[in-house]
């Protein structure tokens, strides 16, 4: 491939907005260098807003994974991170966050065309990523061991030690902030990283790699390779020289990762799928419930693992609440992020076909399609907001994850029935409660099987709050102080004086 400048080919002004032309070719970042694929292959990157090719990425495979793991191992063995003070590792995170400030316009444009986000959401991705970096940068010097009293002439203490080489696989729906938070937790605790970026939306992570390079992150500490899951992903999680795995993705792929990890008894942090239920009681504020459930299922076209994909509503309010939800759906414009629409496309033709097929299953099962359910007749991969009513808890559409802007509405009569329905899937990622009765809210929150519960809102929490699942939604926690514990192991030192 011809040698091209890193950032962009050119910039043009449209109104008051500077639009960066997306670079047509990107390389993998390994051991501080930008490398082509060893076999010359590349991965096409398609804009989900119009279905057109926008760029290509060097296709990483087993060879690139070997190089990246070897680089991470050298960096770890030479203690390039561990020889830094924790405060200095934290300062690296602040430096990366600062570099992202200068790259925000480029990242926002990439998020529109590489991921299908709106422009506002693209800028918010940058802000969220900076927040993660600064939060864990500030935590770097606060992860402490303890002294254990064992009597005279004995000193005993614990040390938080890194695992070594952390293999990380991040999803296509939010690659930049999800990747950055995993990298930050690993680096501030002294681990080195090999991250496989998602082939459907890898570009923002290469800009993060550039920010790491500019910030002075030691060579080999952070390596980013784009490749297909069946090749690069499989090679990474089964590699003989990794010590730790962080995976975010589907349950099916997560099982494959865990099988590979079990062969070498490698610890994992697993953040998998969800089919999260919002329980709306008879006394709920219907306007508030409709507004927040709509936000919970339609943000980023429903392509969020903790989306509000099921509404479990008291039978007395189902009718009026569905009407309000339909009004919320009708208010949203659907189209490319570049057009400042409220809701963008799903990530690919493959994903759109999968969602449409499951919608057809719902109709065949006897559910009522209240709105949506069919792709928009235009360029790109667009599904309008979709609502199913008359849904039974045992239907496939009530059990399987759409990962799209599709809400299923299930009625209930008693609180006990609501709990049974909400807990009646294999998942346990998130849940919501809408009621004016605090006692009922607390009673419900105590009984919902979910890693996080939101009351009278959706996505209550932030960078500071632990996030993760129960059941087949995974284990371990991302976000918050608790996340750091997934990246360290305890060493005990006992000294006889």
Q: Which residues are catalytic?
A: 271, 305
Helix (H, G, I), strand (E, B) or coil at 387: strand
User: Quick check: 307 and 297 in contact, CB under 8 A?
Assistant: yes
Between CA 36 and CA 235 the distance in angstroms is 18
Between CA 272 and CA 249 the distance in angstroms is 5
Between CA 23 and CA 92 the distance in angstroms is 27
| Residues 6 or more apart whose Cβ sits within 8 Å of residue 373 | 356, 359, 362, 363, 383, 386, 406
Between CA 116 and CA 103 the distance in angstroms is 19
User: Quick check: 180 and 151 in contact, CB under 8 A?
Assistant: no
User: Quick check: 282 and 314 in contact, CB under 8 A?
Assistant: yes
What does the block give as tokens for 412? Answer: 């209930």
Residue among 71, 57, 70, 69 nearest 28 (CA): 57
How many C-beta atoms surround the C-beta of residue 273 within 10 A? Answer: 25
Residue among 78, 94, 79, 209 nearest 140 (CA): 94
Q: How far is CA 404 from CA 21, 280, 299, 343, in A?
A: 29, 21, 10, 11
Helix pair 286-298, 318-331: axis angle to 10 deg: 50
Helix (H, G, I), strand (E, B) or coil at 437: coil
Q: For 151-215, give the DSSP string.
A: -TTEEEEEEEEE-SEEEEE--SSSHHHHHHHHHHHHHHTT-EEEEEEPTTS-HHHHHHHHHHHHH
Residue among 233, 249, 110 nearest 170 (CA): 249
């Amino acid at each position: 491939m011809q040698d091209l400048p890193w950032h962009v080919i050119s910039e043009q002004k449209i109104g008051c907005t500077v639009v960066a032309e997306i670079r047509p070719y990107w390389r993998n970042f390994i051991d501080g260098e930008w490398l082509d694929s060893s076999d010359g292959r590349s991965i096409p990157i398609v804009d989900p807003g119009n279905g057109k090719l926008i760029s290509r990425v060097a296709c990483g495979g087993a060879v690139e994974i070997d190089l990246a793991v070897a680089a991470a191992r050298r960096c770890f063995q030479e203690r390039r991170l561990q020889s830094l003070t924790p405060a200095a590792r934290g300062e690296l995170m602040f430096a990366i966050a600062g570099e992202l400030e200068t790259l925000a316009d480029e990242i926002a444009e990439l998020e529109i065309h590489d991921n299908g986000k709106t422009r506002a959401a693209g800028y918010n991705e940058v802000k969220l990523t900076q927040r993660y970096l600064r939060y864990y940068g500030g935590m770097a010097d606060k992860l402490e061991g303890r002294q254990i009293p064992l009597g005279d002439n004995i000193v005993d203490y614990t040390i938080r030690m890194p695992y070594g080489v952390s293999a990380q696989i991040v999803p296509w729906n939010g690659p930049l902030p999800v990747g950055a938070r995993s990298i930050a937790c690993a680096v501030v605790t002294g681990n080195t990283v090999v991250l496989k970026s998602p082939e459907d939306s890898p570009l923002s992570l290469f800009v993060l790699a550039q920010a790491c390079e500019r910030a002075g992150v030691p060579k080999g500490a952070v390596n980013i390779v784009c490749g297909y899951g069946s090749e690069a992903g499989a090679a990474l999680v089964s590699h003989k020289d990794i010590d730790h795995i962080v995976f975010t993705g589907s349950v099916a792929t997560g099982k494959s990762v865990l099988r590979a990890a079990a062969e070498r008894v490698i610890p994992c942090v697993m953040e998998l799928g969800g089919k999260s239920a919002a329980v709306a009681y008879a006394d709920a504020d219907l306007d508030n419930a409709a507004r927040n459930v709509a936000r919970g299922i339609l943000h980023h076209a429903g392509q969020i693992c903790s989306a509000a994909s099921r509404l479990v509503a008291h039978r007395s309010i189902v009718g009026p609440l569905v009407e309000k939800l339909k009004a919320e759906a009708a208010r949203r414009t659907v189209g490319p992020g570049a057009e400042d629409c409220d809701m963008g496309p799903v990530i690919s033709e493959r994903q759109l076909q999968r969602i449409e097929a499951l919608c057809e299953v719902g109709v065949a099962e006897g559910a009522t399609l209240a709105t949506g359910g069919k792709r928009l007749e235009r360029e790109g991969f667009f599904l309008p907001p979709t609502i199913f009513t008359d849904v039974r808890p045992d239907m496939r559409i009530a059990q399987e994850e759409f990962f799209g802007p599709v809400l299923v509405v299930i009625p209930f009569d008693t609180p006990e029935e609501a709990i049974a329905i909400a807990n009646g899937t294999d998942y346990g990622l998130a849940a919501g409660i809408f009621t004016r009765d605090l006692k009922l809210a607390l009673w419900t929150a105590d009984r919902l099987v979910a890693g996080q519960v939101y009351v009278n809102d959706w996505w209550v929490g932030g960078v500071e709050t632990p996030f993760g699942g129960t059941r087949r939604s995974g284990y371990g926690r991302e976000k918050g102080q608790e996340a750091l514990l997934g990246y360290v192991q305890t060493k005990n030192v006992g000294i006889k004086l």
